[in-house]
Structure 1
């Protein structure tokens, strides 16, 4: 076979997707025709498709040595270098190719890819835009242009260019980008429709089905979300993100059928070191502290890899403040509005200002115009509006503000931005408050906790140094006045009898916690169980579960969500809060105690399972921290049968609430400021993070 025929055969094999056969044929052709540059180039192309980039690089370099002016080999070399992780080398190769073939679309597109991988988003956008000018029908450039604009936070421009790409090449990639651009603008229903249409055209593309699930979940259409995640898992049974979200959605619907098997799959996925499972969703599983750390590490490693080019490009330097100077502190959160985060922190921030700490709030959610946002703005030295900005721009603003200690109030919860912290805009970075677990991340130096919520047995499973407060780690707002509630009958409660309450979100309920509640109800026949109404048939499933446990479903009363003060008022009709596990009441427990309702909990082995116990401990009511399920049920039944004991407990709670310091935010702020200063002084002395307090 002559050279031309050999080359034609290799090209045909590549076009048929037979990369291994093409690699074999190209290797033979190179032995037969050692001076043939094209044989070497095609060999490299086959190797690249086989995901052997280092070998492909050698083949392309051989091709260039034989034909240094053939720009295609320089383009291919750029692709191989990019696959090897050498974005700078790829950019050099592509600039050489551009000199040989000015304005060539494939060269410019490859140059954009190299610049994007290097973190040069502006340069990448310039290269992609140049392609659209010289070759307006070249669909990959429109796709890439839309992608880099999304990276930059320019969602409207990304939408326009994704629509152009979809018109030229209506495939899965265009549908994904268009959907992402719409979702970034808050146009959730439109985004879901685009993803669903993409699914119809490409039913085996798990990416599109997964996005349909996310959008349905965002709209609280949990049945549709579950169906979408199940479709993803039929396509790809090891899709970690879909596994985690399906389990979380099933918990949110109180759909416990098949949940044990799904949970085992999740834990096996994490144990195998496969990424994708949301650490936040994983907290609701019956997982160990070691498993939670492993799950968090898998995600944080991906975050760090994605941030590495931008981190190198930004190259933030951090000057050391003078010893004794007040620390300049930043708090980054999605919840600086009508949200649990603001409800917990508003009074704390008002007192923190009196401690001499200069603090800045970075709000990643838009200003809702509410009273809490106004309180926070008035309390802080500055409130920075950073909603809808990309991670690198948020990081720039944090760094420009000279923040010495940056606290992450979201972690891996919804709306969190771990990518900001992976860029290291502050020399000290801290995990606090919303995410009840370890971040498992090298870019987080400290976690703030207390010794009840994070005891010695749990300490080895936190990657951060731990800064211990001498009080409960969770602040609260003691300025709230609890109003009088509507009459019991108006709320669906019986006129008399014991009222047990659990206003935890439905995903925190599980068969074990609910069986415990039903055991209490069976032993206290005149009692009602007051629950927060769930989504998508959750209430009916709980009624059916109660019937299966021998409890009349009519004894379950469901409360709709209400404005915060109206919700607090409901606790005046509640006698005892029955907590859940493996994920406790957190803000909800604090709310119940503040409103005068005692909380009965069973402390578990993880941070998320010990928050209510910490509140009780620091309140001085450790006897409400049951040692096991039997003790939990016995305590709840005893109180349910003894009205005098209930009244005495409620009176004791009121006294301890006033005297214990649990709600003393001036003292809390002083203790918190002491920890911040200790962190800062260690760094100023050249010392690494270490456990404090």
Structure 2
């Protein structure tokens, strides 16, 4: 529960024996800081530091302000200038360690913390920070040991009780956590942080009835603390954040979702059961429940298509509740239109993500601007001009600071024919905007549902592989649109980093069979990882190449691998890399492994672009069939298998016959000249044909209709 966020050192007054002018400046800075004027405080402290460049008080004060102004690197650089002075006492060493951790230099931070403990074995701040660091890395026994030590040193310290409770819950020692919290409430009755955590601990232990009772009994202050906790420690819920109900199953699910991001699957069965209870319509008839997080994380869980459909329907119902300030219904009239262009509104998912912005720029460059006009809506607060500039001359409007209602009013000012939502699965996804309708035609790019319930989105974009039977549920579901090759648009805006890397550079064994799985942690589910471990046992000279996950995720995967009998050397985690660096790394692999339940998609496309062949297993859901759609469009239909047994058998056969792997790589390279996946211009034309059909029906006053898009070639 507690994240190991670095914190700035407290600001100290000048020592009594320091010069008068220096002391006056320090006092002025302390007063300005107390009044909330950080800039004035920083100016005063910098002036004091000019008088005494080596004064640790002035340097620490300046560093503290730099931390608070979100400049941790500058703060750390400043502290390093007086490193010897700071290392002379445990407080100084701890401040250095906190600064190092803020800059991601975790080994150095640990060394500084341990140095502080050599100076004072009972130094509580260093013990606390080491505990937080251990928790970040999933070393719960160490975290609990440090927190226990802090509590024994300062039993009257409320934070010490809270840290130990958080670490016990993180270790899933829920019985111990509840006993500990019971003692804490005896010492600090009605303490809001502790009372809230007791309710959360009951929920995490899956004692939902007792947890709901504890939640209902929270006083207003504890309820406020709970909402603060649920929204990631932010001071206030953002205007468009998903509504979070203080419900025991919701609390349990959110913590389990966080664990999935760390590849911690110990609660998967209980999570699936809890979601099924939340999804069941009889629990909230006619009311709905905002389950948008379940719509994403559920893709990696063993939930049926019907259950996921119910989750979508519940979310649409929740988002359709009456607004506090009702708006006029969407009319769809375009009386102010002065041109015959088709106006496309695009809800981007980020304009600070270089990869996403470059891909959108590459796509827009391929469109026919004589026929289409694009309006890009940015969910990124104050999008950086350097990233937004490539999207010009298309209109770019920031809507991050708007509530859903305000965003709807702004977007309705534009003469849109079609609204295309690219945000699903990202923090910027705002289906509440689509629910209130901003265009005659609304399309969610990649809904992940084979049967998308009719709601704010009129059409479900798919292709002939994902939906081979062309099924359409008129009146019940969004109309199915089948593209001829693949619904995944492989738009590339980046080029690989140069020079090319070697296996030695990447930390890969030179002669090993490298099975590449450079995918986000959420894409790996227990069944997929179990299958991959069986492959490593069958191919002892192989390694599984994974991204630079967090230390906690790496520890969780290593634990599961060890339990499966896989040698530690067979798991290789890549170092930190940018998007371009990752592209450059891809050719070093021998075979890309597509996850079974929630396909890799972008990572898979990156691998194919860089000439790395892949294997995918076509499941029954859209999330598990998109990989097959991508591979077939890349000219490798033989790399798409129909069941898990064939997936494993194919990988083992290829691993034992490197000549087959070389042949696949050659075929992929030859296919790049003609395969549909790599012909972005043609795929864009197909998308334009789909938009034109949809907009035409809407202008004629006709309802959405399922249709197939004919193939296009340049």
How far is the alpha carbon of 1:457 from its aligned partner?
7.7
Q: Residue deviations 1:112-153, cap 9 Å, x none?
A: xxxxxxxxxxxxxxxxxxxxxxxxxxxxxxxxxxxxxxxxxx
- 2:319 matched to 1:303? yes
What is the CA–CA distance in structure 2 between the aligned matches of 1:663 and 1:337, rounded to whole Å?
25
How far is the alpha carbon of 1:340 from its aligned partner?
5.1
Among 260, 264, 286, which residue is 2:302 paired with? 286
Q: Residue deviations 1:386-413, cap 9 Å, x none?
A: 2211112211221111112111111364
How far is the alpha carbon of 1:591 from its aligned partner?
1.1
Judged with a 3 Å threshold, the aligned counterparts in structure 2 of structure 1 residues 276 and 384 are, in CA distance, closer, same or farther, namely closer
Q: Residue deviations 1:559-593, cap 9 Å, x none?
A: 13421100111101111111113111021111111
How far is the alpha carbon of 1:463 from its aligned partner?
2.4
Instruction: Tell me the residue number matched to 2:268.
Output: 259
What is the CA–CA distance in structure 1 between the aligned matches of 2:340 and 2:518, rounded to whole Å?
44
Among 688, 691, 696, which residue is 1:676 paired with? 691
What is the CA–CA distance in structure 2 between the aligned matches of 1:218 and 1:567, rounded to whole Å?
32
Superposed, 1:492-507 pairs within 5 Å as 492-507=507-522
How far is the alpha carbon of 1:385 from its aligned partner?
2.1
What is the CA–CA distance in structure 1 between the aligned matches of 2:695 and 2:588, rounded to whole Å?
46
Larger Rg computed on CA atoms = 1
What is the CA–CA distance in structure 1 between the aligned matches of 2:228 and 2:269, rounded to whole Å?
25
Contact 2:543/2:571 (<8 A) preserved: yes
Judged with a 3 Å threshold, the aligned counterparts in structure 2 of structure 1 residues 198 and 611 are, in CA distance, closer, same or farther, namely farther
Q: Which runs of 4+ in 1 moved over 6 A?
A: 321-324
Judged with a 3 Å threshold, the aligned counterparts in structure 2 of structure 1 residues 412 and 554 are, in CA distance, closer, same or farther, namely closer
How far is the alpha carbon of 1:330 from its aligned partner?
0.6
How far is the alpha carbon of 1:280 from its aligned partner?
1.5
Contact 2:441/2:458 (<8 A) preserved: yes
What residue ranges of structure 2 are gaps of 5+ in the alignment? 1-189, 198-213, 217-222, 236-243, 284-288, 709-714
Superposed, 1:466-481 pairs within 5 Å as 466-478=480-492, 480-481=494-495
- 2:383 matched to 1:398? no
Judged with a 3 Å threshold, the aligned counterparts in structure 2 of structure 1 residues 685 and 458 are, in CA distance, closer, same or farther, namely closer
How far is the alpha carbon of 1:289 from its aligned partner?
1.4
What residue ranges of structure 1 are gaps of 5+ in the alignment? 1-195, 220-231
Instruction: Tell me the residue number matched to 2:381.
Output: 366
How far is the alpha carbon of 1:270 from its aligned partner?
1.2
Judged with a 3 Å threshold, the aligned counterparts in structure 2 of structure 1 residues 346 and 250 are, in CA distance, closer, same or farther, namely same
- 2:447 matched to 1:453? no
Judged with a 3 Å threshold, the aligned counterparts in structure 2 of structure 1 residues 425 and 543 are, in CA distance, closer, same or farther, namely same
Q: Residue deviations 1:433-486, cap 9 Å, x none?
A: 476666635221112221223443875598211222223112123454334443
Contact 2:215/2:247 (<8 A) preserved: no
Superposed, 1:348-359 pairs within 5 Å as 348-354=363-369, 356-359=371-374
What is the CA–CA distance in structure 2 between the aligned matches of 1:667 and 1:680, rounded to whole Å?
20
The two structures have a TM-score, normalised by structure 1, of: 0.64
Contact 1:247/1:263 (<8 A) preserved: no
- 2:423 matched to 1:410? yes
Instruction: Tell me the residue number matched to 1:25.
Output: none
What is the CA–CA distance in structure 1 between the aligned matches of 2:664 and 2:191, rounded to whole Å?
58
Higher mean alpha-carbon deviation, 276-285 vs 550-559, is at 276-285
Contact 1:355/1:673 (<8 A) preserved: no
Instruction: Tell me the residue number matched to 2:456.
Output: 443
Contact 2:290/2:319 (<8 A) preserved: no
Look up the SS of the partner of 1:245 in the other structure: helix
Among 479, 500, 511, which residue is 1:465 paired with? 479
Among 619, 639, 644, which residue is 2:654 paired with? 639
How far is the alpha carbon of 1:551 from its aligned partner?
1.2
- 2:565 matched to 1:550? yes
What is the CA–CA distance in structure 1 between the aligned matches of 2:418 and 2:536, rounded to whole Å?
49
What is the CA–CA distance in structure 1 between the aligned matches of 2:354 and 2:233, rounded to whole Å?
19
Q: Residue deviations 1:264-306, cap 9 Å, x none?
A: 2222331344434321222221111111110011011100114
Among 529, 539, 545, which residue is 1:524 paired with? 539
Superposed, 1:576-587 pairs within 5 Å as 576-587=591-602
Higher mean alpha-carbon deviation, 673-682 vs 405-414, is at 405-414
Superposed, 1:218-257 pairs within 5 Å as 236-237=247-248, 239=249, 241-257=250-266
Look up the SS of the partner of 2:316 in the other structure: helix
Instruction: Tell me the residue number matched to 1:199.
Output: 193
Number of residues of Structure 1 aligned to a counterpart in Structure 2: 479
Judged with a 3 Å threshold, the aligned counterparts in structure 2 of structure 1 residues 212 and 547 are, in CA distance, closer, same or farther, namely farther
Superposed, 1:316-395 pairs within 5 Å as 316-320=330-334, 325-338=340-353, 341-354=356-369, 356-369=371-384, 372-378=387-393, 380=394, 382-395=395-408
Look up the SS of the partner of 2:367 in the other structure: helix
What is the CA–CA distance in structure 2 between the aligned matches of 1:435 and 1:210, rounded to whole Å?
32
Bigger proportion of residues as helix: 1
Judged with a 3 Å threshold, the aligned counterparts in structure 2 of structure 1 residues 328 and 618 are, in CA distance, closer, same or farther, namely same
Contact 1:318/1:426 (<8 A) preserved: yes
Higher mean alpha-carbon deviation, 635-644 vs 210-219, is at 210-219
What is the CA–CA distance in structure 1 between the aligned matches of 2:447 and 2:227, rounded to whole Å?
25
Look up the SS of the partner of 1:620 in the other structure: coil
Contact 2:358/2:492 (<8 A) preserved: no
Instruction: Tell me the residue number matched to 1:608.
Output: 623
What is the CA–CA distance in structure 2 between the aligned matches of 1:451 and 1:243, rounded to whole Å?
38
Contact 1:323/1:681 (<8 A) preserved: no
